[in-house]
Structure 1
Amino acid sequence: MKTDNTSQRSQPDNSSVQEIARKAQRLHHSRTNPTLSPLRGLGAFGVIGWSVAVPTVAGALLGIWLDKAYPQSFSWPVALILGGIVLGVMVAWEWIARQQREEEREAQHIRSTSEAQKQTSASKDAASEVIIARQTNSQEKAGKELKS
């Protein structure tokens, strides 16, 4: 004999609803309160390293070529390696400053969003209090009218 399970399927059990709500709450919390990942730090080291290494190596290669093509009393590779290091440090410095500005903007956005949510919540609370006070007053008036 087959039994009809449609009534069991139509209503989810309470534990799965709570689990979904908990996961949604964790996801919302992680999006509104991002944490710094260790991988983000490694990525920053990588970007900074490459921004210094590439101009330095490019300067060395260009210096070797210039030393062969246009010999001078000074060493082209040494001069261009130093120039590459200076250029790479300037690029890395600008990248770090840009990252800090972005983080400050994100933090400001999060602060303003949370303050707006607090204000909205406070205004909802105040509106609820007004509604409750009106209902209480109307109930008291109705009670007085019944007594008289």
Structure 2
Amino acid sequence: MNNDPAKQASKHGAVFADRVGAKATRKLKARRRSPNTIWLGFGVMGLIGWSVVVPTLFGAMLGLWLDKHYPGKHAWTLALLAAGLAIGCFNAWNWVAKEDRAMHEEQEDAHE
């Protein structure tokens, strides 16, 4: 077993330098990829919002059309509005989960 303090210090210094280098590389990559993080955040919120709103409105419009052209005992508007909302929420959740997986995979690749 080699207990040379100079070699151990050199080894620990190299490991520390590798970690610092990896973090710096990640930060530079993130800055190049998204320089306006605030606007990117607003864009993501808008994208998620529209992915919920569009199916909800489509369901409501389809329900109104069905109620107008095929009147019956039960109204379709509320049922299709709720179905559109559920589909929109599922779409938004699926998109956020996919982006979260991509971020974690990118972080894992950076740690290697």
Residue deviations 1:56-108 (CA, integer Å, cap 9, x gap): 11011111110012112222111111111111000000001001000001111
Q: Does 1:51 align with 2:51?
A: yes
Equivalent in the alignment of 1:30 = 28
Quick one: distance in 1 between partners of 2:103 and 2:26? 19
User: Taking CA–CA contacts closer than 8 Å with sequence separation of 6 or more, which of the two structures ends up with the larger relative contact order?
Assistant: 2
Quote the RMSD (CA, aligned, Å).
Answer: 2.2
The percentage of aligned residue pairs carrying the same residue is 38
Q: Give the counterpart letter for 1:111 in structure 2.
A: H
Alignment of 1:33-112 (within 5 A): 34=30, 37-112=37-112
Alignment of 1:127-138 (within 5 A): none
Q: 42-51 or 96-105: which moved more?
A: 42-51
Contiguous gaps of at least 5 residues in structure 1? 1-25, 113-148
The answer on whether the counterparts of 2:63 and 2:80 sit within 8 Å (CA) in structure 1 is yes
**Which structure has the larger Rg?**
1
Quick one: distance in 2 between partners of 1:104 and 1:71? 51
Moved over 3 A (4+): 26-29
TM-score normalised over the length of structure 1: 0.52
Paired residue total = 85
Quickly say closer, same or farther: Cα 1:107–1:28, change in 2 above 3 A.
closer
State the shift of 1:40 in Å.
Answer: 2.1
